A and B are shown apart, each in its own frame.
Chain A
Amino acid sequence: GGGSMSAKYDRAITVFSPDGHLFQVEYAMEAVKRGTTAVGVCGKDALVLAVERKATAKLQDPRTVRKIVRIDEHVCLAFAGLLADARVLVDRARVEAQSYRLTYDQAPSAEHLARHIAGIQQKYTQSGGVRPFGVATLVLGFDGDSGAPRLYQTDPAGTHSQWKACVIGKNSKAVREWLEKHWEEKEGGGAAAELAVQALMETVEPSAKTIEVAVLTAKGGLQIMEDEALEALIKKVEEEKE
């Protein structure tokens, strides 16, 4: 709904519509829904990201179009939505991580960085002459005090929340429904990765070319799965499905 109303209120500045909508934020969320899917899964002692790989052109170097990025030693991020917008947020998060380390002589938690990213996204919904970021992020890391694995999501509205498992991008509704039925706390990066791939399979035909999987552990940091290991994982998941 809101077709004729949006014509009056969807200019470059984010303002309220009479019925309380921020259409620019809602349109930004549409941009996110069109982005390639990213699934984040929290395990007992590991975190996993499984993302849909956008088909890279033949002459393009795939390493420069990464969807899973390192923010700090033990915090990583995946996003859905506009790549260029995401890069801005990723860079701001990286600077914040080093600034935090310089100030507190301590590693920042995933929560702190997710809150920081969400804060930036919110600012851009309430500032003149700018548009919101067309990006939702999944921020993964370990809790500062307990060392427990944590997963956070941010969105174009500027909210951040903690999740046991989360999905953003294309078909996220269907994948989320699957996760709500099937998520349980898995032990080890391998088991959590299987769960993440199973979830992603609800929307993507899995192969080493179409998906990318990364595992974050306290000891090992971020490990992006090599093609061989990934193919073995996909095979295992497909066999168990049958």
Chain B
Amino acid sequence: GGGAPGMEYVMGIKGKDFAMACVSATAVQQIITMKHDEDKVMRVDDHRMLVTSGEPGDRVQFGEFVCANVRLRNMRHGVKTSTKAVASYARQELAKALRQGPYQSNLLVMGYDEGKGPSMYYLDYLATMHEMNVAGYGYGSWFVLSMYDNLWHPDLTQDEALGLMQKGIDEVRRRLSVAPSSYMITVVDKDGIRHLKTLEYGS
């Protein structure tokens, strides 16, 4: 198919009272980079986001499909569907499609729930779901997951996490021959979802 799934980079970190995502911002078709500022974060509501990666068409269609149905549920029942419930719903849709026409898309469901705090769920196209503190996709994540295993601790502040994200990007660009040239960092906490930084490199 289109895209180059391994060449995408996604890393998610859950901190003390927030969850942060760093995602490659390149949209690639075959050998052409179509965009350098593709925002792969979809806002489900003010405090929940999907960080999607994988096959270009599927990733957007699936993400929007999940968002539409969660928003309908919220409107119908006057509630804010929890992060865990959003992840469980997305996982079920992936499972239903798996043996019919699978969505070739991986995603992190990240959010902040009142009373519970931040959470992050790792989902992949096979309908895997795990709640995790550190998670990612793409070749770059192979280097950075082990780096974060050493550096993560439960009381991480947003500044510390931002520093970790930069370290991760630096490592990917140093060692991965096909490292993406731009990245976007987004955070979700009690105050909502905020885009923190866009980093663009020459090549």
Which residues in A have some Cβ–Cβ distance to B below 8 Å? 70-72, 91, 94-95, 97-99, 101-102
Q: B75's contact among A70, A99, A102, by CB below 8 Å, is which?
A: A70
Residues of A within 8 A of B72 (CB): 94-95, 98
Residues of A within 8 A of B71 (CB): 98, 101
- State how many angstroms separate the Cβ of B85 from the closest Cβ of chain A: 17
Residues of A within 8 A of B65 (CB): 102
CB pairs A–B below 8 angstroms (21 shown): A70-B75, A70-B78, A71-B75, A72-B75, A91-B76, A94-B72, A94-B75, A94-B76, A95-B72, A97-B75, A98-B68, A98-B69, A98-B71, A98-B72, A98-B75, A99-B68, A101-B68, A101-B71, A102-B64, A102-B65, A102-B68
Q: How many pairs of residues, A versus B, come closer than 8 Å at their CB atoms?
A: 21
Residues of B within 8 A of A101 (CB): 68, 71
A95 to B65, CA, bound (A): 13
Q: Which residue of B lies closest to A102 (CB)?
A: B68
A222 to B15, CA, bound (A): 34
Residues of A within 8 A of B64 (CB): 102
Residues of B within 8 A of A94 (CB): 72, 75-76
Residues of A within 8 A of B69 (CB): 98
Residues of B within 8 A of A71 (CB): 75
- State how many angstroms separate the Cβ of A56 from the closest Cβ of chain B: 17
Interface residues of B in 49-94 (CB under 8 A from A): 64-65, 68-69, 71-72, 75-76, 78
A228 to B161, CA, bound (A): 45
Interface residues of B in 11-30 (CB under 8 A from A): none
A71 to B74, CA, bound (A): 11
B88-124 interface bits toward A, Cβ cutoff 8 Å, 1 = contact, 0 = none = 0000000000000000000000000000000000000
Known contacts A94-B76, A98-B69, A98-B75; 6 further A-B pairs (Cβ under 8 A): A70-B75, A91-B76, A94-B72, A97-B75, A98-B71, A102-B64
- Top 4 A-B pairs ranked by shortest CB distance? A102-B68, A98-B72, A98-B68, A94-B75
Residues of B within 8 A of A99 (CB): 68
A204 to B53, CA, bound (A): 57
A95 to B76, CA, bound (A): 9
- State how many angstroms separate the Cβ of B178 from the closest Cβ of chain A: 31
- State how many angstroms separate the Cβ of B93 from the closest Cβ of chain A: 14
- State how many angstroms separate the Cβ of A99 from the closest Cβ of chain B: 7
